């Protein structure tokens, strides 16, 4: 397997060295107003060559000597065009001005502004905060995780929920990164809000297929969120107050033009009124969450940039004698180094941590349960713009995971003993290389591989189990001893064929391997869901995804259309055994079942990018199933997130300068659920009889949301706005859950009861900015 990777490297190098003498135009693209680097900006020549800036705003394009007219452009910015005479290597940093807000007179230029459809990357969706900003959301809380759910192939985990499923995968199969740090639980308040404060976020990219080789570790998707860097030109103070939370954001230069900082905080404030409550029980209750984001960046010189960023978020929930709190911490230290105009390097050291703590405290019982997962992560990546035909990315990634599954402590004066599940250690390594090769003017190819190695480490006891889940043998390992090593090559292949400048077809194949598995048995996901690393028994999950797509820009790039087909197979999928107890069981393998999965679908997406009216329509037709020995008699059954049809319509209209109106409508087939087929009596209580897993359907889900943003003031130094929204505007009672019980009026009858959550939920929020 290692030899395979060496072969790929050798092949790439032999292709690359065979290139003629040319010159390089390189530099960094930034916003003129804030000095922030711009991700994925486009650099195009009048002769049709083009590249995009990387995640640090760096670009490099290699061209034959000559006269060029170069256009630098990006979504939300005015393009800059300049003539360049290329007879030597040129370094050119570019500052793009903000897009002029003159919507009465929208002109669409055919060059620059259209999306690039020539690249090989498929299955990717990018959103900027500007696009997310006006989408009406539950309780007016802007949420990037809910915005991406409106894209094809990405489905919400439930009504008002920020969890999501991508192309038939489960919620834990999404790699969620915030400035490269992994966020293990990206939701607040039982999933209704995400951990991302949209004021601190700069760019969101979702890969639902064809993940580039620098990403790995999850089967279904990568959600790469980049934080703002902070304005290095001027101080800005912005904030907002909504129905559930208040936010404040401060940014500005440390040294103008060279370094900047960003501090951003969000907190729910409903509990501020709690001390006023007369009821002692309410006064002793807690229900709040907060998020803090901070970032510092220093431009040491033209070639070196340092970034330090951090995130801290936590939920606190306390009801009477019970309390639970949970949260994530991530920290990233990054060093960008430009070796020369063709070689860019990034070194990151990343810390990430998720933990929860449960308390039960009264005179009869006191108990404290603590669990955490912590990563120490080192990434080294090189981007080498080797020739006009080849650009390479290669690097390595090394993560040390420590999981504390559960630690129970008690004062010792009440009923409980201290109890401790063994800590689990693992070392997760990967080497990767990819080459993007312009084979011909019409054909681009990206090929490469990721070689992942996952070492399960001691100290600890590991188990052998039989098919009934009974422990047959206990194996004891010492500290640092390798229990098991899983080596997996993950080939990545993508090709695009350009039919004409506005039409292309693409195909890709990607294999992903996942070694951390989330065990969940609740419909919406809970902070106490358990992360497990692969062990001698729990094998890495493997997914192979094939996709094929057709892309078209038309009406002078005002409209974008794309359609993709995908087929995915999944190995080593995990589910609980009936009655599994994972809280106090060290031999967790004895509580779970293994099987496989498959998913396939067809996605359609039509987007109008410019003009007074913008928006998109997305439609997905899909199927996702699992086959696990011990569930549904070992036959294929629907995964819970199997939804046949999924539609989202997002509409936005700019009415004059002051008003922005928005609406979205969502429809999807009801979730696959398990209804009882019969009933019986156990100990004077009705118990339900179940046959097949997920063979029934919830009623279809649909909903209309409306929103309006009123720009109150827009001066040079100060702006403010009021945002209104109405969630579920026609009051559809969408089922949150369906439960079964004996009728209260006629106890001999069994009835189904639908619980619905949100209808006609209005919201109002006020946002301001001092510049």
Partner 1 sequence: MSAGVKSILIMAGLSLLVLACERVITVDIQKVPGKYVVEAVINDDSTCWVRFSQTSAFSDTLNLMGVSKANITMTEEGGRTVVLTETAGGRGIYRARFSGRPGHTYHLKVEYDAPAANGHTGGRQLFTATSTMPEKVMLDSLFVTERVFLGQKRLIGTVRFDDPPAPGNAYRYIQYVDGSEEATVFVVKDDLFNGRTVTDELLIFNDEYTLRKCDQLRVVLQCIEQPVYLFWYSLNQSSLGSSQSASPDNPASNIKGGALGYFSAHTVSARNIAIFPDSTCSYPAD
Whether residue 242 contacts residue 763, with contact meaning beta carbons closer than 8 Å, is answered with: yes
- DSSP symbols for 178-241: ETTEE-S--EEGGGTEES--GGGEEEEEEESSS--TT--S-SSEEEEEEE----SSS-EEEEEE
Cβ of 281: how many Cβ atoms within 10 Å? 9
Q: How near is the Cβ of 327 to partner 1 at its closest, in Å?
A: 15
Site for partner 1 in 236-275 (CB under 8 A): none
- For partner 1, give the closer residue by CB, 273 or 689: 689
Site for partner 1 in 743-762 (CB under 8 A): 743, 746, 748-759, 761
How far from each other are the two terminal CA atoms of the chain, in whole angstroms?
A: 56
Task: Say whether residue 16 binds partner 1 (CB under 8 A).
Answer: no
Q: Out of 256, 442, 645, 741, point to the residue binding partner 1 (CB under 8 A).
A: 741
Q: How near is the Cβ of 97 to partner 1 at its closest, in Å?
A: 44
Q: How near is the Cβ of 230 to partner 1 at its closest, in Å?
A: 34
- For partner 1, give the closer residue by CB, 6 or 690: 690
Q: Out of 415, 468, 478, 500, point to the residue binding partner 1 (CB under 8 A).
A: 415
x/- contact string, 508-547, with partner 1 (CB under 8 A)? ------------xxxxx-xxx-------------------
Task: Say whether residue 55 binds partner 1 (CB under 8 A).
Answer: no
Pairwise CA distance, residues 201 & 229, whole Å:
9
Q: How near is the Cβ of 728 to partner 1 at its closest, in Å?
A: 10
Task: Say whether residue 422 binds partner 1 (CB under 8 A).
Answer: no
Site for partner 1 in 568-627 (CB under 8 A): 575-579, 581, 583-584
Task: Say whether residue 678 binds partner 1 (CB under 8 A).
Answer: yes
CA 229 and chain centroid, separation: 19
- For partner 1, give the closer residue by CB, 567 or 688: 688
Cα distances from 242 to residues 131, 290, 478, 573, in angstroms, run 19, 14, 53, 41
Q: Which residues contact 78 (CB under 8 A, 6 or more apart)?
A: 96, 97, 98, 99, 100
Site for partner 1 in 290-319 (CB under 8 A): 317, 319
Residue 708: which H helix or E strand, with range?
A: strand 701-714
Nearest Cα residue to 84 out of 115, 53, 47 = 47
- DSSP symbols for 21-62: --EEEEEEEEETTT--B-TT-EEEETTS-EEE--TTSEEEEE
Q: Out of 88, 102, 280, 472, point to the residue binding partner 1 (CB under 8 A).
A: 280
Q: How near is the Cβ of 164 to partner 1 at its closest, in Å?
A: 16
Enter the DSSP assignment of 133: H
Q: Out of 684, 715, 716, 717, point to the residue binding partner 1 (CB under 8 A).
A: 684
Q: How near is the Cβ of 35 to partner 1 at its closest, in Å?
A: 41
Q: Out of 689, 715, 716, 717, point to the residue binding partner 1 (CB under 8 A).
A: 689
- Among the listed ranges 17-25, 408-416, 453-461, 611-619, the one in contact with partner 1 (CB under 8 A) is 408-416
CA angle (91 as vertex; 89, 94 as ends), nearest 5? 145
Task: Say whether residue 629 binds partner 1 (CB under 8 A).
Answer: no
Q: How near is the Cβ of 698 to partner 1 at its closest, in Å?
A: 9
Q: How near is the Cβ of 681 to partner 1 at its closest, in Å?
A: 4
Site for partner 1 in 154-193 (CB under 8 A): 189-190, 192
Q: How near is the Cβ of 726 to partner 1 at its closest, in Å?
A: 13
Pairwise CA distance, residues 309 & 226, whole Å:
10
Count of CA atoms in the C-beta half-sphere (13 A) of 22: 19
Burial of 548: CB neighbours in 10 Å, binned 0-12, 13-18, 19+: middle
Structure tokens at 385: 């713009």
Cα distances from 191 to residues 224, 240, 673, in angstroms, run 19, 22, 20
Whether residue 152 contacts residue 164, with contact meaning beta carbons closer than 8 Å, is answered with: no
- For partner 1, give the closer residue by CB, 319 or 475: 319
Task: Say whether residue 695 binds partner 1 (CB under 8 A).
Answer: yes
Task: Say whether residue 468 binds partner 1 (CB under 8 A).
Answer: no
Site for partner 1 in 192-211 (CB under 8 A): 192
CA dihedral 202, 205, 211, 213 (to 10 degrees): -10
Q: How near is the Cβ of 345 to partner 1 at its closest, in Å?
A: 44
Site for partner 1 in 469-508 (CB under 8 A): none
Task: Say whether residue 673 binds partner 1 (CB under 8 A).
Answer: yes
- DSSP symbols for 149-186: TTSTTEEESSTT---EEETT--GGGEEEEETTEE-S--
Site for partner 1 in 56-115 (CB under 8 A): none
Q: Out of 324, 495, 533, 592, point to the residue binding partner 1 (CB under 8 A).
A: 324
Pairwise CA distance, residues 618 & 373, whole Å:
36
Q: Out of 696, 700, 702, 724, point to the residue binding partner 1 (CB under 8 A).
A: 696
Pairwise CA distance, residues 152 & 131, whole Å:
16
Task: Say whether residue 691 binds partner 1 (CB under 8 A).
Answer: yes
- For partner 1, give the closer residue by CB, 81 or 674: 674
| Helix (H/G/I), strand (E/B), else coil: 713 | strand
- For partner 1, give the closer residue by CB, 102 or 739: 739
Q: How near is the Cβ of 294 to partner 1 at its closest, in Å?
A: 29
Pairwise CA distance, residues 648 & 702, whole Å:
10
Q: Out of 104, 467, 473, 683, point to the residue binding partner 1 (CB under 8 A).
A: 683
Residue 384: which H helix or E strand, with range?
A: strand 366-384
Site for partner 1 in 540-579 (CB under 8 A): 575-579
Could you tell me how many residues of this chain bind partner 1 (CB under 8 A)? Answer: 92
Q: How near is the Cβ of 284 to partner 1 at its closest, in Å?
A: 8
Whether residue 595 contacts residue 569, with contact meaning beta carbons closer than 8 Å, is answered with: no
Q: Out of 445, 471, 518, 686, point to the residue binding partner 1 (CB under 8 A).
A: 686
Structure tokens at 750: 């069994």
Site for partner 1 in 343-402 (CB under 8 A): 358, 360, 362, 364-365, 367, 369
- Among the listed ranges 53-61, 377-385, 436-444, 694-702, the one in contact with partner 1 (CB under 8 A) is 694-702
Whether residue 319 contacts residue 285, with contact meaning beta carbons closer than 8 Å, is answered with: yes
Pairwise CA distance, residues 195 & 225, whole Å:
11
Burial of 273: CB neighbours in 10 Å, binned 0-12, 13-18, 19+: exposed
Q: How near is the Cβ of 315 to partner 1 at its closest, in Å?
A: 10
Q: Out of 111, 347, 361, 414, point to the residue binding partner 1 (CB under 8 A).
A: 414
């Amino acid at each position: 397997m290692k030899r395979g990777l060496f072969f790929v490297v050798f092949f790439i190098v032999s292709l690359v060295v065979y290139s003629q003498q040319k010159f390089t135009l390189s530099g960094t693209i930034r916003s003129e107003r804030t000095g922030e680097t711009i991700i994925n900006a486009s650099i195009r020549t009048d002769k049709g060559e083009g590249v995009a800036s990387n995640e640090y705003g760096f670009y490099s394009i290699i061209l034959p000597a000559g006269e060029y007219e170069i256009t630098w452009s990006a979504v939300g910015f005015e393009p800059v065009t300049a003539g360049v005479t290329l007879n030597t290597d040129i370094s050119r940093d570019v500052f793009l001005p903000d897009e002029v807000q003159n919507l009465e007179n929208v002109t669409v230029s055919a060059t620059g502004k259209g999306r690039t459809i020539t690249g090989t990357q498929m299955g990717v969706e990018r959103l900027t905060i500007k696009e997310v900003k006006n989408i009406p959301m539950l309780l007016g809380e802007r949420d990037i995780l809910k915005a991406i759910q409106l894209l094809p192939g990405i489905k919400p985990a439930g009504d008002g929920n920020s969890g999501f499923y991508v192309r038939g995968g489960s919620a834990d199969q999404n790699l969620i990164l915030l400035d490269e740090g992994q966020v293990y639980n990206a939701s607040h308040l039982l999933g209704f809000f995400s951990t991302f404060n949209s004021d601190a976020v700069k760019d969101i990219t979702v890969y639902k297929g064809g993940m580039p080789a620098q990403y790995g570790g999850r089967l279904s998707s990568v959600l790469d969120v980049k934080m703002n860097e902070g304005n290095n030109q001027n101080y800005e103070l912005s904030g907002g107050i909504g129905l559930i939370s208040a936010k404040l954001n401060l940014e500005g230069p440390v040294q103008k033009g060279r370094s900047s900082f960003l501090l951003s905080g969000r907190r729910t404030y409903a509990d501020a009124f709690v001390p006023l409550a007369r009821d002692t029980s309410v006064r002793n209750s807690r229900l709040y969450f907060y998020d803090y984001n901070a970032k510092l960046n220093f431009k040491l010189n033209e070639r070196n940039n340092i970034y330090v960023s951090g995130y801290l978020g936590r939920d606190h929930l306390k009801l009477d004698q019970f309390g639970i709190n949970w949260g994530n911490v991530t920290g990233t230290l990054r060093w960008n180094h430009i070796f020369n105009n063709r070689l860019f390097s990034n070194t990151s050291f990343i810390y990430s941590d998720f933990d929860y703590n449960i308390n039960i405290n009264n005179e009869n019982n006191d108990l404290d349960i603590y669990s955490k997962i912590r990563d120490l992560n080192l990434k080294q990546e090189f981007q080498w713009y080797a020739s006009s035909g080849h650009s390479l990315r290669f690097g390595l990634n090394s993560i040390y995971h420590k999981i504390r599954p559960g630690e129970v402590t008690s004062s010792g004066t009440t009923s409980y003993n201290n109890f401790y599940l063994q800590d689990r250690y693992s070392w997760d390594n990967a080497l990767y290389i990819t080459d993007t090769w312009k084979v011909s003017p019409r054909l681009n190819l990206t090929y490469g591989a990721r070689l992942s190695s996952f070492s399960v480490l001691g100290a600890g006891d590991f188990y052998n189990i039989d098919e009934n889940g009974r422990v047959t043998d206990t194996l004891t390992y010492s500290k640092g001893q390798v229990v098991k090593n899983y080596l997996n090559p993950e080939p990545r292949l993508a090709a695009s064929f350009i039919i004409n400048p506005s039409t292309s077809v693409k195909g890709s194949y990607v294999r992903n391997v996942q070694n951390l598995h989330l065990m969940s048995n609740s419909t919406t996901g809970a902070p106490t869901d358990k992360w497990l690393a692969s062990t001698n028994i729990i094998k890495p999950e493997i997914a192979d995804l094939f996709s094929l797509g057709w892309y078209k820009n038309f009406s002078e790039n005002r409209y974008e259309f794309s359609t993709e087909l995908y087929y995915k197979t999944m190995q080593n999928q995990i589910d609980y055994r009936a009655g599994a107890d994972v809280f106090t069981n060290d031999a967790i393998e004895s509580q779970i079942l293994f099987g496989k999965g498959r998913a396939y679908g067809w996605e359609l997406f039509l987007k109008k990018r410019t003009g007074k009216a913008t928006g998109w329509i997305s439609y997905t037709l899909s199927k996702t199933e699992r086959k696990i020995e011990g569930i549904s008699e070992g036959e294929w059954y629907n995964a819970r997130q199997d939804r046949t049809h999924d539609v989202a319509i997002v509409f936005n209209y700019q009415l004059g300068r002051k008003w922005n109106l928005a609406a979205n409508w969502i429809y999807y087939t009801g979730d696959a659920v398990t209804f009882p087929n019969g009933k019986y009596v156990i100990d004077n209580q009705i118990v339900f009889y179940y046959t097949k897993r997920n063979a029934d359907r919830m009623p279809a889900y649909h909903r209309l949301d409306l929103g309006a943003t009123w720009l109150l003031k827009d001066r040079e130094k100060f702006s403010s706005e009021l945002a209104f929204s109405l969630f579920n505007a026609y009051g559809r009672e969408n089922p949150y859950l369906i439960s079964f019980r004996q009728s209260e009026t006629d106890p001999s009858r069994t009835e189904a009861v639908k619980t619905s959550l949100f209808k006609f939920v209005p919201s109002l929020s006020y946002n301001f900015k001092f510049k």
